[in-house]
Structures are given as structure tokens and as C-alpha cells.
Structure 1
Amino acid sequence: MGKTLVEYLMRDLSATVAGKHTYDLYVLSTTQVETDSPTPKLNPTAKRRRFIVFLAEDAIFVTALEVHEYVEDHGENDSVSLYISKVDTTGFSSESGSPTKPLITSFLKYYIEVRSPKLLKINVFARAQPQYLFTKSFENPQKRVLRDTALVKWWKNVITETLSTISSRMRGGTTAWFYIPGENSERSARIIIKDENAEPQGKPLWIYGYPYDDDQAANNVIPRFIDDAKGRVLRDVAGRDGKRKKTTDDGDKQMSVEEFWQVMAISGECGAGKTTGFFWVEITNARSEPNKKWKTDGMSVINDTEFPRVVHELLDLDFWPREKAIESTQKFTEILANECGLQQVKIVVDNLSKQFKKIDDRVVNNLQTSVKRKIPPSEKDGEASVNVLSPSVIRRRMR
């Protein structure tokens, strides 16, 4: 496999996407910047890099993936945390096969197989939304927006399939957790998301719960990222950044992990009848000699401060109807070329023999509540409420 991210994605996607396609691949990365660690009480600083990856077919974006990378360098024992921030689709993927699930899997496999840090942590928060990166795409009747319980199951399956492809040596050092706030038993959680997949014999892949002890201080051990539901609750309830109560001799103490998840279950992020899922994966000793060299061949690298502006440029474009989606894709690829120096890379897929699953990847997998547009006026109360956007968001700019 290729040693750069772009090369790896090209080769892996050409082998794993079902059907026959020609894709344009765009990979945009930021420079590494020093920032707060996801767990600043344990490690003060980390180096962060942000990615956004697009796949276009027939001159229209079909899917996009945004990931944040945090690197904590402890000499030979480097640690990398990946936070999957956003995944979105436009609904224009061809019927023969969708690249969404293979794109996520390929991106993660690159870190597992090529980057191979001593400790790799993968973090996902699954919360259903009608759109995330592609404005007006929710109006496309071909876009399958999964309900909240189905989305949690979808993400569990994506991660399971990803981990099934890695070597037995790596699987031996892999632990995965999933948790639905408010559901204390694995049995009830599986019933809710209709997960009937049996765990393999021997060591189960999944642990129901979270990778922290209940009595630990939540603010010390629970990671928080840019645009992260957990971080927002920690700031609001525990009073992070100077507002939280300090431990004193009279018995006051910080919120415990157990108390934190009790609050999460009734929070605006996870409560009010919504079903959300948190996923953590830790892969230890993935490689005896970690590959710390980062190759940027085939991708464009911009300053971290420019990243939000580029994303907002995308959000100002509409992706429905089809003619508008073609126009918006052209406009944004021109922005990528002219302002970011990014050109597409062709991926040719010829896998007609692959079976196309009936329940496919043509879904919008929106994870957080960062950059959103206004609530569509066509949405009604009731069943659609699981997709209502949070009021505390960055609105789309007026034209």
C-alpha cells in the first residue's frame, strides 16, 4: 500500500467500493498547531491537524469526511487521537455502490496500518441530523437520512467492519467501547438499536460502557475536542475554563464520570427522546517502530486558521437540486484549487462483482453541532424532531 494518505485512499477505495465508478478525490489538511490536549489534566498540550476529504462523481460531490488528529508525543510512546467530526452525503451517489463507508474505513486503516502509533484512539459521537456539510442536500429524496437508532447501529457496524480487516496481532491489542447515554445495560442498548449481531467467540470486540472508571473526575479523563458534545457539557455543568467549582476542604468535589454520564443522558445533546451513541477504540502497540513521518503528497496543506473559512465557503453553497449541486461542486473545487492549491486525484473503481448491500451507505452521518444552517421550514414537530438542529450553532451567512 502507498505510504501517503492520498495514495492509500486511492488504492484502498479502488479495491473496496462496490460497482463501477470514476471518483475525484480531494484531501485538504491543515498544518500542525500546538493546542490543548484532549485531556489537558493528563497531558497539557498536543499537536492538532484537521482534515476534510471529498469524493466527487459525475461532477458532483457525493460524500465528505472531516477528521481531527491530535498527537501527543511521549518519546517513543507516541499517542494519536482521531476525532471523526463530520460525515455527510449529498444523495447523488450511484446505485451500484456508495463510497461513504469505504472512505471512513480506509481513512482509519491508514492510521492503523501505516501511521501505526504506539497508541491509537478513535472517537465517534453518533447523533442524527439531516445535513451537515452539504446545504439543502436533505431535500434530495435519494439521500437516506438514518433515524437516530439506525445511525448508532450503522456506526457500530462501520467500526466493526474496519477492525475486522486489521491483522490478528493488532486485534489482540484492540479494545472497543460503545455507550448510549441513559441506557445502563448492553441488552437494552442492543434492543434499542436492533443490533442482533453476535459477538465472536473468545474475546468480545465490544465492551458496553466507556473507558473510564465511574469514580474518576470527569474533567480529568474525558477527552474534549473542537465542536464536541462532551466538551460542551463539561463546560456548562462542570464549569470548565475557570468557572467550575474548585475542590475545597469543606467537601466540594469535581463531577465524577458516573455523574457526567447521568447529566449527558438528560442534556440537550442526548436527552429529550433522542438516541445517541458514543464510540471509543484504542489500539495499543500497533507497530514496534511507529511511523512518525508525515507525507503530504497529493494533498493541500493550509494554515489551521484558514480551515473554518474554507468550511464556511462550502456551507454557503447549495446541493439541491442537481443543477445547483453541479454548480456548487464546481465553485468549491475552484476555491480549493485557487485558494488552497488543491487539485483532484482520479480513482477508478471496477468492482461490479461486489455485492451491493440493501442497507447501504447513502446516509448522512452527522455527528456534532458545529456549523449548521437554519432549520428547514418543511420540518414538522414529532418524528422529525430527532433531526432538529441545536439553537447554539453558527448560522449560515446571509448572502
Structure 2
Amino acid sequence: MKLRDVLLAALQSLPGTREFHIHVLVASPHKHHGLFPYAQPRPRAYLQDILILLSQQATPDAPRVFVTAVEVSVYNIPATSCGILYVSKVDATGQATAPSPTATLIKSLLTYYTNPETRPIHIDTLWIQVFARSQGQYLFPNSSDHSGKRVLTDVKLCAWWKRNLSEVAAETVARNAGVRMKLCYVLPGLSELEALNTLHFAASTPVPSSVQWTYGHQSSQTDIPLPCPPSKGTYNLGHSIPSFDDDPKSRFIDEIAHTTDGDGIRSPEAKRPKSALQQTNSKDRQGEDVDENKEEPRHQGELNKVTPDEFWERMSFRQECIAGAVTGFFWLGIAYPPPPADSHNSSVPSPLAPQPGQVAPRLLKRVVASLLNGYDFSTVERAVRATETLEGVIRGLCENIGSEPAEAKTDPYHLAPLLFQRETTPEPVRSSAVLEVPRTPKKGSKALPEVSPNPFPEPVASLETYESYIYGSISVGNPPLPPRAGAVLGSNGLSGSGKDTPAGKQVTILTVRKKKRKLEP
């Protein structure tokens, strides 16, 4: 089942009358060595990036405008038959009519991967991980300046994520018999009772009774297998903490890995240059994979001393968690029952094999880089113009990239007038890395060479791929939302529109009378 069609079917049940246009970009899988960089041995993982852009037309004559964007990373670890779905960014422009489609889009996306019948990867265990931090904007530049955007507070954002993950868990249990499930969350700096009361008062609707949450991290439980369990007889914190882009716990474990008892935080040791004799011997050993600077596997820093409980206790003192706002880490783990015996006879495709409808990772990175650097969503007019331009860019990349000459594909600037809507001076051929999404480099990190090349070529996007898998639209014609007094919905820098509060609801304002003081003679 196509992810695009599942998302559109879920949006069709929203109240009100409007039309949605969606773009779903799923990158082909590629090898990824940075998920557990400090685990020994380091497990091989395969990464898929997903970008979902949703635009809306309030009326058939109204222009399209982006309302929601979601960025997700899906990791497949064949050694443990485990998958990790990490919700990287969720954002909204605040220009959607009530109710906001963000929650529906998130829940249908997560349900698509929790359902074995629709999930495109073959795994026995799935972990969904979310880091909730309230900010004005994530994927739509300058959208926080739009007057209609109502960003959820830090506590309401955590309650929003807990409620949505609970509904996904309840639906998964009801649909799949025999599954084992574990839901964990941590609000750094708050005790279990403080976190429970804080989210209880902030939640607009109660959590389903069939779902039970545990206050703690995923490593504190043993019901659901972990993605990277430690080796027998050894301990290393790197087996417990996965590393994601722009994630505070990833930055913290980098510091622990380069911390010593006496010197505090240290930089990685510089490699010694090869002597002339070593260089000569290396050249003479033809046909052998020789690396004179390769070190024996060993624990780094204090990774073998810090336990997961201590790690999360110390996370409470990190800058991201004590800056005056409540942040939340959420885990949803699902262990599926073993498949029937006759299903083992069917061949399982390689986790690196691209599937129909997927695009090359570089194409998705171009779209994300263009979205973050080339557009403005501070006003309705600018958002409409940005929506029209970016939707045209996606279609143009899918329609023209297959017919471009080879020398044009290596030049990232040949699409600059289309991406950024301004004339540019021709530039020399450069690496396509300049159009990748800006990332904060990890402390002491270095590029790791691929063990072996990808045996499958990158998929080539086409107009047929665009029309069959990427783009889709649906008209919604349901009764409008009944008038109610409620808060605006949003998450992770996501928001709704100011139209969520009924305009026709009468409000009575009481005047406070002040008692006059008698003047003394």
C-alpha cells in the first residue's frame, strides 16, 4: 500500500470542506554507520529519509498554501531485525483551517509503519522515538512571524505527543493480536509525579485506558528487544543511546566519549604520520587492505563507566533541558509475534534494494535544502508564492532529472534559478554537498568509508513516479467542526491557525468595581 494513499485516506475524514495536496518523498535506503557510532562491534544500519509536505486549498478558487511538513528518518538494523522510526521535525505554517491536519497526518504516518501489512521494511521489532521541544519554527522559515501561527507551549507540546502516541499504540494493539508493547517517556528535570501531574493538567483529552506509560528510558525495560544490545561480558553506553542529527542526547554522548578522569573533555588524538619505511611497506603489499593508523576496538572516554540511568539523570543538567522550557523524550516499542512457518519460504528482498516510488537521497536533500534556505512563510502572500514555487521544483526535478545530460547532473547550480527564483552567475562544477541540509558536526566525528559499495543503482525519478507515488490530492466535504472553546493544535514547532476558536461564540466580560476609599480630614 502506498504511503501517499494512506495519508490521503486519513485526511479525508477531517471535518469541514477543503482540498488537500500532498507530496511524499521517500528516499531509497543507503548504508549508515552513524546510528551507534560507539558500539563495539558497530551494527550495520540502513537509512531512509522521508519528507512530507501538505498544502491546502480552502476553496476551489483559493491558492494552495503549505500547512504542515514532516521529516522522518527510518533505520533498519538487520542484525537484530529491528527498526527505528525517528520523528526529526514537524512544523506548520498556522494557515490551516480548523481542525489542523497535523495530528491526523502524524498518526496515519506512524500507523503505516506499525502495521506489518503496510510497513515496507521486514523487521520483528519497531521503536518509535520522539524528542519534543517547542520552538517557533522548524521547517518553514519565518513562519513564526505569521500572526495566525499559535505555537504550543513546552508542556502542551509534550502532552500532545503523549496523546498521539497513545492513540497509535491503542490502534496497533486492537489491530494486531499477540503484539508486545512498551511506552516510555522522560521529562528531564522532573520526577515521575511531577511529570505525571504536569502532562495531566496540560492534556486536552485523556489517554486511552488500554495504554500504560512507564516513566523511564527504553534501556530500563526488558520486555521489548533493544536495537543494539551490548555484547556478552562487556558494557558500553554506546549500545544504549542512538545518535540522530540535531539531537541533544547525541551531543551529550559525544562529550562522554571524549572525556577522561583527569583532563575533562579532550579532543581525539591526532594520528601519527607514517614513516618512509611504513609507506614503502604499504605500497609493496598490493591486493591487501592495509591501514597502518587503524586502532584496535576499545571503549572511548567514560562510555564504559556511565550507566543509562546516570546518563538520563545527567541529561537534566544539559543546556537543552534547563533553558527554562520543559522537553520530553518519548519511546514506543513494539515486538511482533513470529510470522507463520510457511512465510519463511518467501524470499525477502535486500534492505538496500530501492522500491517503486522511491527517489534518490540527493533529490530529497535538494528539496529540504531549498525549503530551509530559499523561501519565506511570514505572510500569507509569501507563503502562497513559496508553495507554488516549491511544488513546481519537486515536479521539475522528477520530470527533468532523467533527461539531463551527465555533465549537468554534477553541477548543483544548474537548478539554482528554479530553486531560489533569482538569476545567478554560472559557477564551476562543484560537489553536490553544497545543497545538503546544514548539520552540526559531532565532536571528534570523522567520515567513515563504506565497507562495500551499494550494489543497487540510485532510482531515477520520472513524471510517472511523481504522479503515481509522490503527488496526490483529495477533496474533503464533511460537516464542519462543532463550535467549541479550545486551544489551538500544534506540535514540535507545529501550530494550528487562529481560526480554531469559534468566532461566533459570545464572551461576557465582567467589570471589577473598585471600592472607593474615604478621605480622612
C-alpha deviation, 1:137, in angstroms: 0.8
Q: Residue type of the partner of 1:308?
A: K
Identify the residue that residue 13 of structure 1 maps to in structure 2. Answer: 11
Whole-Å separation in 2 of the counterparts to 1:218 and 1:44: 14
Choose from 332, 336, 344 the match for 1:281.
Answer: 332
Partners of 1:181 and 1:276 within 8 A in 2: yes
How high is the sequence identity, in percent, across the aligned residues? 29
Q: What is the aligned partner in structure 2 of residue 238 from structure 1? A: 257
Listed as ranges, the matches of 1:313-352 within 5 Å are 313-315=370-372, 316-341=374-399, 342=466, 344-352=471-479
Cα 1:359–1:208, aligned 2, differ >3 Å: closer, same or farther? farther
State the secondary structure of the residue aligned to 1:207: strand
Q: Which residue of 2 aligns with 1:392?
A: none
Secondary structure (helix, strand or coil) at the match of 1:222 reads coil
Separation in 2, partners of 1:279, 1:356: 32
Q: Could you report, residue by residue, the CA deviation over 1:329-379 in whole angstroms, capped at 9, with x for unpaired residues?
A: 111111111124445311222332666875466424249xxxxxxxxxxxx
Using the TM superposition, give the Cα deviation of residue 306 of structure 1 relative to its aligned residue in structure 2, in angstroms: 4.1
Deviation, structure 1 residue 124: 0.1
Distance, in Å, in 1 between the alignment partners of 2:395 and 2:142 is 24
Instruction: Specify the alignment match of 2:31 in structure 1.
Output: 34
Q: In structure 2, which of residues 220, 241, 248 is the aligned counterpart of residue 222 of structure 1?
A: 241
Match of 2:313 among 238, 262, 274: 262
Contact 1:131 1:364 in 2 (8 A): no
- Cα separation, 2, equivalents of 1:357 and 1:180: 31
CA distance in 2, matches of 1:247, 1:32: 29
Out of 65, 71, 77, the position equivalent to 1:72 is 77
Q: Which 5+ residue runs of structure 2 have no aligned equivalent?
A: 58-63, 222-229, 260-265, 270-297, 400-465, 495-521
Taking structure 1 as reference, are residues 90 and 287 closer, same or farther at Cα in structure 2, changes over 3 Å only? farther
Distance in 1 (alpha carbons) for counterparts of 2:354 and 2:70: 19
* Letter in structure 2 aligned against 1:91: G
Moved more, 312-321 or 39-48: 39-48
Tell me which residue corresponds to 2:499: none
Alpha-carbon offset, residue 78 of structure 1: 2.7
Normalising by structure 2, report the TM-score. 0.62
Check if 1:308 corresponds to 2:365.
yes
Larger radius of gyration: 2
Q: Contact 1:170–1:283 at 8 Å: present in 2 too?
A: no
Q: Which amino acid aligns with 1:103?
A: L
Give the 5 Å matches for 1:74-113.
74=79, 78-95=81-98, 97-113=99-115
Post-superposition offset of 1:171: 7.7
1:63 to 40, 62, 68: 68
Superposed, 1:140-219 pairs within 5 Å as 140-168=146-174, 169=176, 172-185=179-192, 187-193=193-199, 194=201, 205-213=212-220, 217-219=236-238
**Partner AA of 1:8 in structure 2:** V
Corresponding residue of 1:48: 47
Contact 1:126 1:366 in 2 (8 A): no
When residues 173 and 47 of structure 1 are mapped into structure 2, their CA distance, relative to the original with a 3 A threshold, is: same
Greater shift in the superposed pair: 284-293 or 169-178? 284-293
Question: Is the 8 Å Cα contact of residues 10 and 108 (structure 2) preserved in structure 1?
Answer: yes
- Post-superposition Cα deviations, 1:40-59, rounded to whole Å, max 9, x if no partner, equal 52652111000000110121
**Counterparts of 1:90 and 1:306 in 2: how far apart (Å)?**
24
Paired residues in the alignment total 355
Distance 1:6 1:200 in 2: 28
Deviation of the 1:139 alpha carbon: 1.3
Query: Offset of 1:164 from its aligned partner?
Result: 2.2
- Alpha carbons 2:237, 2:303 under 8 Å: kept: no
Gap change, CA 1:314 and 1:171, over 3 Å in 2:
farther
Contact 2:83–2:123 (CA under 8 A) maintained in structure 1: yes
Rate the CA distance shift 1:132–1:198 in 2: closer, same or farther, 3 A: closer
For residues 88-119 of structure 1, what are the alpha-carbon distances to aligned partners after superposition, in whole Å with 9 as ceiling and x for unaligned?
Answer: 00011012x21100000000111112217311
For residues 45 and 179 of structure 2, the distance between their equivalents in structure 1, rounded to whole angstroms, comes to 27
Instruction: Compute the displacement of 1:85 (Å).
Output: 0.2
Q: Which moved more, 1:351-360 or 1:140-149?
A: 351-360
CA contact (8 A) 2:46 2:76 kept: yes
Instruction: Answer 1 or 2: which has greater strand percent.
Output: 1
CA distance in 1, matches of 2:391, 2:140: 14
CA–CA separation in structure 2 for the residues paired with 1:255 and 1:357: 50
Q: Distance in 2 between matches of 1:65 and 1:252?
A: 33
In 2, distance between residues paired with 1:219 and 1:56?
40
Cross-structure match for 2:128: 122
CA contact (8 A) 2:188 2:327 kept: yes
Q: Residue by residue, what CA displacement relative to the aligned partner does 1:128-155 show, whole Å, maximum 9, x if unpaired?
A: 1100111111111221101111111111
Quickly say closer, same or farther: Cα 1:195–1:318, change in 2 above 3 A: closer
Tell me the TM-score normalised to structure 1 length.
0.79
Q: How far did 1:287 drift?
A: 6.9
**Offset from partner CA, 1:263-289 (integer Å, 9 cap, x none):** 321112212222100000111116726
Counterpart-to-counterpart distance in 1, 2:382 and 2:476: 26
